[in-house]
C-alpha cells in the first residue's frame, strides 16, 4: 500500500513545541498574579489589625508579629497624627521586582 507524502508529518509536534513554552509562561504569570493579589488582601488585613492593636495601647512588637505572620519578610511602619495611628505594611510578592503594600489607620483610644 503506497504512503501518501504530504510533508506534514511531525507538524503537530512542532506546533506543540512552539506553543508549550508560551502556555507555561501564561499559566505561571496567572498563578503569580493570584499569589500577589492574595498577598495584597492579607497585608491589608494585617495592617488594619496592627493599627487597631496599637490604637488600643498594645506593643509595637505585637503589632509587628501580626504583620510578620502574613509574610516573614514583611515590614511595618507606624505613624501617628491627629488622634490616629496608621500602619503601612509591605512585603515582596511572588512576582520578581514587585512589592505589595497596604496602609490602614485606627482611632487612638482616649480621643
Q: What is the pLDDT of residue 6?
A: 62
C-alpha 61/C-alpha 81 separation (Å) is 20
pTM for this predicted structure: 0.77
Domain boundaries along the sequence of the chain: 16-107
C-alpha 66/C-alpha 61 separation (Å) is 9
C-alpha 31/C-alpha 24 separation (Å) is 11
Task: Outline where DSSP puts E strands in 1-111.
Answer: 75-81, 84-92, 99-107
The three cell numbers locating residue 12: 503537530
For the four alpha carbons of 60, 62, 65 and 67, in that order, the dihedral sign comes to negative
Q: What is the pLDDT of residue 16?
A: 83
What tens-digit pLDDT sequence spans the chain (111 residues)?
555 556 667 777 888 888 899 999 999 999 999 999 999 999 999 999 999 999 999 999 999 999 999 888 999 999 999 999 999 999 999 888 899 999 999 999 755
Amino acid at each position: 500500500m503506497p504512503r501518501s507524502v504530504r510533508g506534514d508529518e511531525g507538524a503537530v509536534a512542532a506546533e506543540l513545541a512552539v506553543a508549550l513554552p508560551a502556555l507555561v509562561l501564561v499559566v505561571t504569570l496567572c498563578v503569580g498574579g493570584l499569589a500577589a493579589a492574595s498577598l495584597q488582601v492579607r497585608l491589608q488585613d494585617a495592617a488594619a489589625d496592627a493599627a487597631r492593636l496599637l490604637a488600643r495601647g498594645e506593643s509595637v512588637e505585637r503589632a509587628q508579629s501580626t504583620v510578620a505572620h502574613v509574610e516573614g519578610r514583611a515590614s511595618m511602619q507606624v505613624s501617628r497624627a491627629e488622634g490616629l495611628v496608621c500602619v503601612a505594611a509591605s512585603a515582596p510578592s511572588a512576582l520578581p521586582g514587585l512589592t505589595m503594600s497596604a496602609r490602614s489607620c485606627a482611632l487612638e483610644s482616649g480621643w
